Chains A and B, each alone.
Chain A
């Protein structure tokens, strides 16, 4: 259950945002796409989940070309995707429990009791059993992220995409979210792809890392060798803060 991108490029008008990126995201691992703001990492993620179509190149889900396949296969792939958006993207008109139940109601014929059981499981898994009836506007940013994760795993996806999981969160909550993403990846054996520019997150959970600079893949490796990158742009990105020291 891996995802492979082959030489994908994307332009917006005259501006080339992605310039022939290739990478393989492996099953059971947290793969991270890192880079500065405007480097093209979010566009890469949007291409991966089908919100944008690359101008050229291929995105292969277990060998199936996501942008060339037939409608039925595309639908099946989509239903195996779980995604946590930067702001949570929870449905405002639904409670926490209803948000988690939403994909289950849409894609299964389960009874109310079965849906409730699954919702309880997902909320318990993200440690959010105490406020199932709260609306998104009534909960904190960290709770929204956890509800987003619970909704993303509701249908037991094979692929999990996470966009900036730590934006707007304090370091402690960020660490909780990172840990949760890592645990769920191993528990459900998912192919997880996280877009981030948070180095704490990278050092915590980055099993494999791709560094994107001005639309190009500049470096790939793991959290174990990122502190010796031998790439000036990545070095500039990592060591801008005094908190992370060169090895």
Chain B
């Protein structure tokens, strides 16, 4: 075995496996926070929408429609993405940053492995794949939380909520939601990976990179959010 060492290019299956690991890690790792936040935001949106609709001429099912449209257009893709920027973005930046300051990235480079390809691409693909999954999940939970809150507080029944969701439902809102989720997934992973990759120094700088990753991801997201809304609506 020592005599002949067949060298090949880096194996594509390794990258495929890494991407799957990233998708699983992002989805499973963020599931609990998404469940909690999405359910409660759905509930709060229902209660606050009902508070503002005081006229008896406005049917109660309008609340369901407003909650649904808000969820699909903004709450599911954007608000959840802000939360994911904190969880996933800081995790990516600190993970890659720690690898940088402990020479693990140098080790990859010396081995002849492209560190950007090995570390960033699977995370980028993982973000682009897992964000729409998490956003779909959160959109469902926003509706569910809203319906349960409306029913529990006596504001409107499940049927009224469901009717409101369906009556003026526009499939284009779903397209906007997924467009935003792809873009936000891309922005969070690339910005965070960039800040992690260019970390210079020690533990303090790793923390600073994680903070920068979250802040710049959020700024990029609000700008992208406005552009998508302007272009698609």
Q: Which residues of A contact B (CB under 8 A)?
A: 49-51, 75-76, 78-79, 81, 83, 85-87, 89-92, 103, 105-109, 114, 117-118, 121, 155-156, 161
Contact = CB atoms under 8 A, between A and B. Distances in A.
Q: Is chain B's interface secondary structure helix, strand, loop, or mixed overall? A: loop
Contacts of B1: 114, 117-118, 121
A106 B11 contact: yes
Given A108-B8, A118-B1, A75 B112 contact: yes
B24 to A, nearest CB: 14
Contact of A85 (B7, B103, B112): B103
B104 A108 contact: no
A156 B111 contact: no
Contacts of B2: 156
A247 to B, nearest CB: 38
Contacts of B167: none
A83 B7 contact: no
A118 B3 CA distance: 12
Interface of B: 1-2, 5-11, 14, 98-99, 102-104, 106-107, 109-113
A51 B109 contact: yes
Contact of A89 (B11, B102, B112): B102
Interface centre among B14, B104, B110 (most CB of A within 10 A): B110
A105 B109 CA distance: 16
B91 to A, nearest CB: 12
A78 B7 contact: no
B111 A79 contact: yes
A103 B111 contact: yes
10 contacts: A50-B109, A76-B7, A78-B110, A83-B107, A87-B102, A89-B107, A90-B104, A92-B102, A108-B7, A114-B1
Given A79-B111, A83-B110, A92-B98, 20 more contacts: A51-B109, A79-B7, A81-B110, A85-B103, A85-B106, A87-B102, A89-B104, A91-B107, A92-B99, A92-B102, A92-B104, A103-B111, A105-B14, A106-B11, A106-B14, A107-B7, A107-B112, A108-B6, A114-B1, A161-B110
B111 to A, nearest CB: 5
B198 to A, nearest CB: 15
For the complex of A and B, 6 pairs with smallest distance between CB atoms? A78-B112, A89-B103, A89-B107, A85-B103, A83-B110, A79-B112
Contacts of A155: 5, 7
A108 B4 CA distance: 11
A44 to B, nearest CB: 15
Given A76-B7, A118-B1, A106 B111 contact: yes
B6 A86 contact: no
Contact of B11 (A50, A83, A85, A109): A109
